[in-house]
Chains A and B, each alone.
Chain A
Amino acid sequence: AQRVTQPEKLLSVFKGAPVELKCNYSYSGSPELFWYVQYSRQRLQLLLRHISRESIKGFTADLNKGETSFHLKKPFAQEEDSAMYYCALGNNYGGATNKLIFGTGTLLAVQP
């Protein structure tokens, strides 16, 4: 069964500290993985996707197929990074729905 697991409901760090938001997935095919972010009282927006290998707002995420993980990392947290982060799994290869399966989310709180 397809599943996304985010083990931490809350991650609290101090400004300037490194951040790692964990995401593990289960999927039998070739996964497409995404990180979405939701700032306070705003809509969800795409942060980054594994296929692009990009760095957005200092965040990076590497797909590790051996460990079935897609952890989100940032070397130095900023207060404006405080938000809810969702890891999501897509099954688009050859598919026709572009559906996403979301994890339960991790609330990142960056303390001054």
Chain B
Amino acid sequence: NAGVTQTPKFRVLKTGQSMTLLCAQDMNHEYMYWYRQDPGMGLRLIHYSVGEGTTAKGEVPDGYNVSRLKKQNFLLGLESAAPSQTSVYFCASTPGQGWGVENNEQFFGPGTRLTVL
């Protein structure tokens, strides 16, 4: 199993350009998440999904859109990139709702380093 993978690993954009970050997981997980990681701010949740075809806003959703057309994929889009979106983006997944400990560990991808000039 590859676990959680992210594409691309690095990207440089100019202000106003658009791009899509792809997250894929092969663990049949129901829930998926997008975070951004910034120095001194930890990880902040952008959007998340609790199943195919569903998405919801997290803590910092402005400027981003997401889609979950297939269970294994969670896409993060930037329609018009801004320098404030320079960050490292992490995707994560977890099996899904449950009462057991085994259901709530989040598995992370390797990250995408995005620079917006």
Task: Name the distance in Å between B23's Cβ and chain A's nearest Cβ.
Answer: 12
Q: Report whether A98 and B103 are in contact in the complex, using a CB–CB cutoff of 8 Å.
A: yes
What count of chain A residues pass the 8 Å CB interface test? 27
Q: Report whether B42 and A86 are in contact in the complex, using a CB–CB cutoff of 8 Å.
A: yes
Q: Does B105 have its Cβ within 8 Å of any Cβ on chain A?
A: yes
Q: Does B110 have its Cβ within 8 Å of any Cβ on chain A?
A: yes
Q: Does A45 have its Cβ within 8 Å of any Cβ on chain B?
A: yes
Q: Does B2 have its Cβ within 8 Å of any Cβ on chain A?
A: no
Residue ID in chain B nearest A45 by CB atoms: B108
A43: contacting residue among B90, B98, B103, CB under 8 A = B90
Which of A32, A101, A102 has the most chain B CB atoms closer than 10 A to its own CB? A102
B48: contacting residue among A9, A34, A90, A99, CB under 8 A = A99
B interface residues (Cβ-Cβ under 8 A, vs A): 4, 31, 33, 35, 40-45, 48, 50, 56, 58, 90, 92, 94, 96-99, 101, 103-106, 108-111
